[in-house]
């Protein structure tokens, strides 16, 4: 515990009620959405004004505390598990003001702790559209989304968080305010520090303000679902849609295990005997939607899909309910749920699906697969029990093989969940030693004492 005079300093900076020292409070910030072993931090600080971040960071850094900045803690890579017991967790959940929604120039300025769904809803009420929609959006923050470069169901057509980031401010290790980007659609001024902070997972600085791009909402949408007799046929349909140069806004995959676990959980009428299901939505101008829906339908049928179009808003919602239930339905099956994030070029999806089937049977593991098939981004989800040593060793080996095969297919370790602690040991396999050495040098330049989320991504 910091000494009394340091605690007093923090209290005078942010108010006594925002300096959390009790064991119970600190326990709450010892873990995130991954099964990593919790680490109780030394102290939790909850600034309520962004200007407080600079002096807080400067003081923590000079004392030598490890600093973990935390949005809502929903990340899936161990990103906010404290590095050690000398860690100070800085919460952003009280930095949650939407400062501006500009409907004329189509941008918004927000603080980092704004919850994604609240932001999307305020933007919608203003007549505009913020497309990135991670499944966690009712809880996750925009700061966490930028720091993980979060994706979502609409990534295929609309891109991911980075595609909506125009600029940002952040505090560096010395507590200095650094500004980058602009409210303009284009900005080629200086280094692209917003790009550097995107996906930086709290290892470079603490974001205090974000400028997000907004777009006009689509005028119409058409959802549909198709069932297949094999996962490879479904994967071929995805590759076929992409190869036909149609860009649905959403193209999602659920395998047989996932369909059955959803039925066990909620019984929403999904076919238990289908090997796989694709959920598709096209959006845009009504005429374009009609044409694209027909073209998608044609490809799905050519690949053996049994297609059902959503007739109205209720049926459209039913299509997406299946997708929303995928992770909760799998997660409730066993004590531990490990959600992976393998991503390959779309043409390689059939090969990835074959590889996953082989891995599951070789290591005798129970896993369900769902994901953003249109992005080539699959979430093989291992249902296991971390108390079972033998099973966890098999899971570990299966994940190692999954990554090796993903990279061999020209893919990447993470499509959207980031590196954190979970994937850092595999990074060299994908990028090589020279790249890791370069990143370590770069990181040291910004954080010479190695205190910003120090065990994450590459470690320091």
Q: Site residues (CB under 6 A) for ligand FAD? A: 32-33, 68-76, 79-80, 92, 112, 134-136, 140-141, 143-145, 147-148, 150-152, 201-202, 206-207, 327, 416-417, 453
The DSSP secondary structure of 400-440, one letter per residue, reads HHHHHHHHHTT-BS-SSS--TTTTGGGHHHHH-HHHHHHHH
**Backbone phi and psi for residue 273, each to the nearest 5 degrees, phi listed first:** -95, -5
Q: Which residues contact 308 (CB under 8 A, 6 or more apart)?
A: 224, 225, 226
Are the CB atoms for 153 and 250 separated by under 8 Å? yes
| Spatial separation of the C-alpha atoms in residues 181 and 211, rounded to whole Å | 8
Q: Residue with CB nearest ligand FAD?
A: 144
**Backbone phi and psi for residue 22, each to the nearest 5 degrees, phi listed first:** -70, 150
- Total length of the chain: 460
| Spatial separation of the C-alpha atoms in residues 39 and 294, rounded to whole Å | 53
145 or 256, CB closer to ligand FAD?
145
Q: Which residues contact 458 (CB under 8 A, 6 or more apart)?
A: 419, 424, 427, 436, 439, 440, 443
70 or 261, CB closer to ligand FAD?
70
Q: How far is the CB of 113 from ligand FAD (least distance, A)?
A: 7
Q: Which residues contact 220 (CB under 8 A, 6 or more apart)?
A: 283, 284, 285, 286, 289
Q: How far is the CB of 244 from ligand FAD (least distance, A)?
A: 26
87 or 140, CB closer to ligand FAD?
140
Please count the other Cβ atoms lying within 10 Å of the Cβ belonging to residue 436. 16
**Distance of CA 223 to CAs 312, 322, 384, Å?**
9, 13, 34
Please count the other Cβ atoms lying within 10 Å of the Cβ belonging to residue 25. 15
32 or 236, CB closer to ligand FAD?
32
Q: How far is the CB of 328 from ligand FAD (least distance, A)?
A: 7
| Spatial separation of the C-alpha atoms in residues 415 and 142, rounded to whole Å | 18
339 or 359, CB closer to ligand FAD?
339
For residue 19, the Cα-to-chain-centroid distance in whole angstroms is: 29
Q: Which residues contact 18 (CB under 8 A, 6 or more apart)?
A: 45, 46, 47, 48, 94
343 or 406, CB closer to ligand FAD?
343
Q: How far is the CB of 453 from ligand FAD (least distance, A)?
A: 5
Q: How far is the CB of 9 from ligand FAD (least distance, A)?
A: 22
Q: What is the DSSP letter of 40?
A: -
Q: Taking the CA atoms of the chain, what radius of gyration do you get in angstroms?
A: 23
112 or 248, CB closer to ligand FAD?
112
Q: How far is the CB of 199 from ligand FAD (least distance, A)?
A: 9
Q: How far is the CB of 120 from ligand FAD (least distance, A)?
A: 13
Q: How far is the CB of 163 from ligand FAD (least distance, A)?
A: 13
76 or 356, CB closer to ligand FAD?
76
Q: How far is the CB of 197 from ligand FAD (least distance, A)?
A: 7
75 or 258, CB closer to ligand FAD?
75
73 or 305, CB closer to ligand FAD?
73
């Amino acid at each position: 515990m910091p000494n009394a005079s340091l605690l007093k300093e923090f209290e005078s900076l942010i108010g006594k009620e925002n300096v959390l020292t009790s064991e119970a409070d600190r326990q709450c910030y010892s873990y995130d959405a991954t099964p990593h072993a919790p680490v109780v931090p030394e102290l939790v600080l909850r600034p309520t004004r962004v200007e407080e971040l600079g002096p807080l960071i400067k003081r923590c850094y000079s004392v030598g505390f490890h600093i973990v900045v935390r949005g809502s803690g929903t990340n899936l890579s161990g990103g906010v598990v404290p590095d050690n017991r000398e860690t100070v967790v800085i919460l952003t959940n009280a930095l949650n003001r939407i400062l501006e929604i500009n409907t004329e120039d189509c941008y918004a300025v927000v603080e980092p702790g704004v919850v994604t769904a609240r932001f999307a809803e305020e933007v919608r009420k203003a007549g505009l559209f913020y497309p990135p929609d991670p499944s966690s959006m009712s809880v996750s923050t925009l700061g966490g989304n930028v720091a993980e470069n979060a994706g979502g169901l609409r990534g295929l057509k609309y891109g991911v968080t980075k595609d909506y980031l125009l600029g940002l401010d952040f505090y560096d290790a010395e507590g200095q305010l650094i500004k980058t980007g602009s409210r303009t659609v284009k900005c080629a001024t200086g280094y692209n520090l917003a790009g550097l902070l995107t996906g930086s997972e709290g290892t470079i600085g603490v974001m205090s303000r974000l400028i997000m791009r907004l777009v006009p909402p689509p005028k119409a949408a058409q959802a549909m679902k198709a069932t297949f007799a094999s996962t490879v046929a479904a994967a071929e349909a995805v590759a076929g849609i992409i190869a036909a140069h149609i860009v649905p806004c959403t193209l999602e995959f659920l395998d047989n295990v996932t369909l059955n676990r959803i039925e066990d959980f909620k019984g929403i009428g999904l076919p238990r005997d289908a090997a796989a299901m694709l959920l598709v939505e096209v959006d845009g101008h009504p005429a374009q939607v009609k044409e694209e829906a027909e073209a998608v339908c044609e490809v799905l049928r050519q690949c053996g899909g049994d297609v059902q179009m959503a007739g109205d808003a209720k049926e459209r919602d039913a299509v997406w309910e299946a997708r929303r239930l995928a992770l909760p339905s799998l997660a409730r099956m066993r004590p531990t749920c490990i959600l992976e994030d393998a991503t390959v070029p779309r043409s390689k999806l059939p090969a990835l699906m074959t590889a996953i089937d082989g891995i599951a049977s070789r290591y005798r593991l129970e896993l369900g697969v769902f994901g953003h098939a249109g992005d080539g981004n699959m979430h093989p989800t291992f249902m296991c029990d971390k108390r079972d040593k033998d099973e966890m060793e098999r899971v570990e080996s299966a994940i190692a093989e999954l990554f090796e095969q993903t990279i061999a297919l020209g893919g990447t370790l993470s499509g959207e969940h980031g590196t954190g602690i979970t994937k850092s040991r595999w990074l060299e396999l994908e990028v090589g030693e020279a790249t890791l050495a370069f990143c370590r040098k770069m990181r040291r330049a910004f954080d010479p004492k190695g205190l910003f989320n120090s065990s994450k991504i590459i470690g320091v």
